[in-house]
Amino acid sequence: MLWGGEDFISDYEYGEMLYANPRGVSCSQCHGKIGEGKTIVAYKDENGKQLLKGSDIRKDSLSTMIKAVNSYHKIMPRYYLTDEEIKAIYDYLKIKNQTYLLKSEEKNN
């Protein structure tokens, strides 16, 4: 929990807040609502139609996510998140995906 015994927000809410707006650009703009990845833009070049896609991060390990966020990317902005902030996002996505799967199963039954 954050901020000691009397939490201002829950760990889930903290992760949700960071995923929505870590440092100005939402992770969901490229990685989708639950980390599933999505097409960012379609464009044409000399090879025809191309798609720029954000990756599916749902199955990434925490160490993979930390490395990815802290590494240079041609497309992904640098967020300068702490390992604790990245873990909060990671934990949030795990809970969000479990909830999504449960709701999907309920709809199918």
Say what the pTM is.
Answer: 0.79
pLDDT at 5 over 70: no
Does residue 51 sit within a domain?
no
CA dihedral 68→73→79→82, nearest 10 degrees, is 30
Q: Is position 39 within any domain? A: no
Residue 15 lies in a domain: yes
Q: Name the domain count of the chain.
A: 1
Residue at 5 is within a domain: no
Q: What is the pLDDT of residue 107?
A: 72
pLDDT at residue 55, as a whole number: 93
Query: Domain of 67?
Result: 11-30+59-108
Distance, in Å, from the CA atom of 13 to the CA atom of 27, rounded to the nearest integer, reads: 15
DSSP run (H or E) holding 103: helix 83-108
pLDDT by residue (tens digit) across 34-89? 999 999 988 998 988 888 999 999 999 999 999 999 998 888 888 889 999 999 99
- In-domain check, residue 38: no
Q: Is residue 92 part of a domain?
A: yes
Residue 3 belongs to a domain: no
Is 36 among the domain residues? no
